[in-house]
Structure 1
Amino acid sequence: MSLKHILLGILQQPQSGYDIKKMFDEVFSNFWAAELSQIYPQLRKLKEQGLLTVESVPSDKGPDKKLYEVTPAGQQELVKWLAEGPITNTEKLAYLAQTFFLGALPDDQARIDFLEPLHSHMKQWHEHLVCIQEQTKTEFPDYPHDLPDEEFYPNLTLMLGVKKVGAKVEWVEECIALIKSRMNR
């Protein structure tokens, strides 16, 4: 997967760098992370490649803000990327790599101390995603069938996020329980 293509997808409507970052934090958090230090250089490259336009507009909060929007060439690049089919086996989960090496910690309590904040984070993340889904359900009585296209397809990613993060919560709980049972042997 490519940050380039995700940005092209986001910028179907004009948005500022701040708005883009907010989407990563609120909408894409269950499958992609990006920092402003990654977003702005990529936006510059996309503009140089003719895939985006940039317009300065007045801001209520200080200096003018830049609004980025996909060009027809950018739209073609996005469609080409989608037509290539699903890209798989690209996930990188640092916490899972750390878990693999937990045996390097001095004792089981240190391992549990590592996993408990992970559990708390996953639980909060899951609750956040469920809250978004429940809010959408209240707005659309025949959820998800009556969602308009611009909400239906993003909702498919939300549905996986709810299931995937829920499974991660259960996995961390199981890991902690297994370590505690080993301590009591």
Structure 2
Amino acid sequence: MLISAIIGFTFSNKGVTTGMKIGVIIIAAGAFAFIYQDVLAMVGIEQGEEIASGLNLDHRAAELAKATSGIDISSYSLPLQVFTFLYRPLFFDAPGMLGLIVSFENVFLLAVTIMFFAKGGLKYLFTGDFTVKTAFLSFITVSIALAQISGNLGIAIRQKSQVMLLFLFVIVKMLDDKKMKAAYAAWKEKQRKARMRARMESMMN
């Protein structure tokens, strides 16, 4: 999340000066260095083992997939793992009543995602402010990490609900920005017509 915030802030041009970008990077680097050891100690990882621990996801995925509600994703490609984590189960592969209930939510999320990109969402990710970039980068990175270990449906549902809030924030902000832009354009057009009307009345008088 911290790294995503740094990247989103750094690559944003709306209201962010170069000095602010440099300042945020320096402060974030100092904060990360300050909490690095505490984070490793909290999760029980010894220094020097963090890379191996981060890459050793197969065992965790296999253990989580042993549950009756599990979906074995360890053999999937990375894009399919992420899609499974975010949008499955659907109606055709729902494992039981719980999976059927969750399928309604997943269909809604899939439809919202398609709508987002159909309405220019990809362009908005590049033109949006740093909050949009930070939220989307956090959504992508966390989804990729969790998709590789969330073989159990119950765990995936709980984790996905928290991650999806980031993406829904991006969607809502895009729709709100479009609405505000349309309202501003309508106001400008109204002002232009009012000026033209006043000019014509003054010419007639």
TM superposition score normalised by structure 1: 0.29
Name whichever structure is richer in helix by fraction.
2
Normalising by the residue count of structure 2, what TM-score does the alignment of the two structures yield? Answer: 0.27
If asked which structure has higher relative contact order (CA below 8 Å, sep 6+), I would say: 2
Q: Which has the higher strand share?
A: 1
